[in-house]
Amino acid sequence: MVARSTERPDERLARHIVSTVLGVPVERHDYGTAPRQVDALVCYPDRVAALEVVADPDKEFNDQQVALYGKKNPLEVPGLRKSWIVLLSRQAKINNVKRALPALLLDLQDNPPPKRSPWDVEPSELNRLGITSADPIYESTESGRVWLLPVGWGGWVGDEGTVGEWVTRVLVEKAADVPAKLAAHPGVVERHAFIWTIPSSDMGVQVQLECGDDHPFPVAPPTLPTGVTHVWVAGWARYQGVLAWFPGRGWWRTPWTWPSDGSA
């Protein structure tokens, strides 16, 4: 087995969040020196707890992100007077999109059909290329740049049971190795699963991660598989925070927020 020499950024930030919220050190544990090690240990004064970090698994979304970031992005289109954002469905073929986009966007900019905004893509073109929207960035100061981004999330705001049900689905159906690794770690009572949302995660979960009281707050507990006793759910966006579920306490909104200076 090849030892992993570096810690993923999401694991490092999760350790920082848990340490900040609980006020105790959270030390990296998985250095790739043995199979199935948990990611970190929460070091209380009188005991330790196990911590495993995972991002909501979405293979199609992740594969598309890898493909996009592995190619030249943004796309340069001479003649565009603004920068544009183009959102792609999971079915979009990136090479086909890049070949067709320059002519399409220039036409939308310079020769919009009557009664149609320049950025309102025809359904036939939309379906053919897998583009869900194409919009100029009006406040942009750079011309000719086209950012290709995967479609994020959509749906309903959810209710009091949405976050708990989502946590159960992730840990039981999508990331069953997380409770398995936590259960296998010896000598601990607390076993924490830290779950990062991604842009394609359930919209109800995304909304409830936003700070404020104008949306449903999770109440129903998750049905946790063997090996998990505590849960953290963190938002990927700057306007989202971190929720936690602890036995005896239920759901609570932690005080951690993304720093405004971008240092996280």
pLDDT tens readout for residues 33-76: 888 899 999 999 999 999 999 998 776 666 776 677 666 678 89
Cβ(84)–Cβ(134) under 8 Å? yes
Burial of 40 (0-12, 13-18, 19+ CB in 10 A): buried
Task: Say what the pLDDT of residue 252 is.
Answer: 95
Please give the model's pTM, rounded to 2 decimal places: 0.71
Model confidence band, residue 4 (pLDDT cutoffs 50, 70, 90):
low
pLDDT tens digits for range 111-163 = 765 655 555 555 567 678 888 888 888 887 889 999 888 776 566 778 999 99
Q: What is the mean pLDDT of residues 201-206?
A: 88
Q: Is the pLDDT of residue 2 over 50?
A: no
Rounded to an integer, what distance in angstroms lies between the CA atom of residue 227 and that of residue 163?
Answer: 19
Alpha carbon separation from 109 to 1, 63, 96, 119 (Å, rounded): 54, 31, 20, 7
- CA 227-53-37 angle, 5° bins: 65
Burial of 211 (0-12, 13-18, 19+ CB in 10 A): exposed
The alpha carbon of residue 225 and the mean position of all alpha carbons in its chain are separated, in whole angstroms, by: 22
